[in-house]
C-alpha cells in the first residue's frame, strides 16, 4: 500500500532539478558524440564550443543549487522506506552533487591547461576566462582529462541508478516519488 508524502521539494528546487537534468543529459550526449561518433570536422568544432558553453553555465547553476541545498532541508523520505534505502538515496544524491561539480570543473581545468589556448565564448555571447596559470601545463591537463572522462562515466552510471531507483519505487513499491519533484500534491 502506497504511503503518500505530505511534502514535496520547493518550486526553486524543482525548477533547478529539471532544467539541470535536461542540461546534463545534453552534456553527456554531446560529450559522447564528440568523442565516439564520426562527424564532420566543422560540426565537431561547433559541438565542442556548445559543450563548453553549456558546461560552464552549469557551474553557475550548481552554485545556485548548492546554495538552495544548504539553506533548505529536503522533504523527509517516506518512513515506509527501509533504512538502507534511505541511506542509499542520501549517498546517491550526495555523489550526484559531487559529479555535478567536479565533471564541469575538470572540463574547465582541461581546456585551461590546453596548449592551444582556445577561448570559451559562451554561446558567442561573452568570454568565460580560463583558470589562471594553467596554460600549457601538460601534467594538470592530462590529469583533468582523465578526471573528466572517469567522472563523466561515473555520473552516467549514477544517473541511470537514480532513474532505476525511481522506477523501482513506482513498479515494485507502488510509490510515485515523482510527485515529490513536481508541483501538485502537497499532502
- Cell 592530462 identifies what position? 142
Distance CA 2, CA 5 (A): 9
Q: Bridge-partner residues for 122, per DSSP? A: 126
Sole binder of ligand HEM in the list 15, 19, 32, 45 (CB under 6 A):
32
Length of the chain: 187
Q: Which of 106, 75, 70, 98 has the alpha carbon at shortest distance from 10? A: 75
Q: Which region among 37-45, 79-87, 132-140, 155-163 touches ligand HEM (by CB under 6 A)? A: 155-163
Closest by CA position to 163, among listed 1, 15, 21, 20: 21
Of residues 21 and 140, the one with the C-beta less far from ligand HEM: 21
Residue 113 near residue 120, CB atoms below 8 Å: no
Among 14, 21, 122, 147, binds ligand HEM (CB under 6 A): 21
The C-alpha cell 510509490 sits at 175
Q: Tell me the closest approach of the beta carbon of residue 21 to ligand HEM, in angstroms.
A: 4
Closest CA to 112 of 130, 94, 99: 130
- The distance of closest approach from Cβ of residue 24 to ligand HEM in the complex, given in angstroms and rounded to an integer, is 4
Within positions 80 to 99, which residues make up the interface with ligand HEM, using CB under 6 A? 93, 96-97
Q: Applying CB under 6 A, which residues contact ligand HEM?
A: 17, 21, 24-25, 27-28, 31-32, 34-35, 48, 51-52, 55-56, 58, 69, 74, 93, 96-97, 100, 103-104, 107-108, 110-111, 120, 145, 148-149, 152, 155, 159, 162-163, 166, 177-178, 180-181
Amino acid at each position: 500500500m502506497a504511503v503518500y508524502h505530505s511534502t514535496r521539494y520547493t518550486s526553486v528546487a524543482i525548477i533547478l532539478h529539471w532544467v539541470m537534468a535536461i542540461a546534463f543529459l545534453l552534456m553527456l550526449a554531446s560529450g559522447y558524440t564528440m568523442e565516439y561518433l564520426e562527424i564532420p570536422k566543422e560540426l565537431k568544432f561547433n559541438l565542442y564550443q556548445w559543450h563548453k558553453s553549456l558546461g560552464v553555465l552549469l557551474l553557475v547553476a550548481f552554485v545556485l543549487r548548492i546554495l538552495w541545498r544548504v539553506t533548505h532541508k529536503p522533504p523527509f523520505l517516506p518512513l515506509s522506506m527501509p533504512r538502507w534505502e534511505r541511506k542509499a538515496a542520501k549517498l546517491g544524491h550526495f555523489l550526484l552533487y559531487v559529479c555535478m561539480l567536479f565533471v564541469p570543473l575538470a572540463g574547465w581545468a582541461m581546456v585551461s591547461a590546453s596548449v592551444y589556448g582556445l577561448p570559451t565564448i559562451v554561446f558567442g555571447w561573452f568570454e568565460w576566462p580560463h583558470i589562471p596559470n594553467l596554460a600549457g601545463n601538460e601534467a594538470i591537463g592530462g590529469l583533468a582529462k582523465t578526471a573528466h572522462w572517469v567522472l563523466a562515466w561515473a555520473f552516467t552510471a549514477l544517473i541511470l541508478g537514480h532513474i532505476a531507483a525511481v522506477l523501482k519505487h513506482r513498479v515494485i513499491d507502488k510509490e510515485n516519488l515523482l510527485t515529490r519533484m513536481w508541483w501538485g500534491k502537497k499532502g
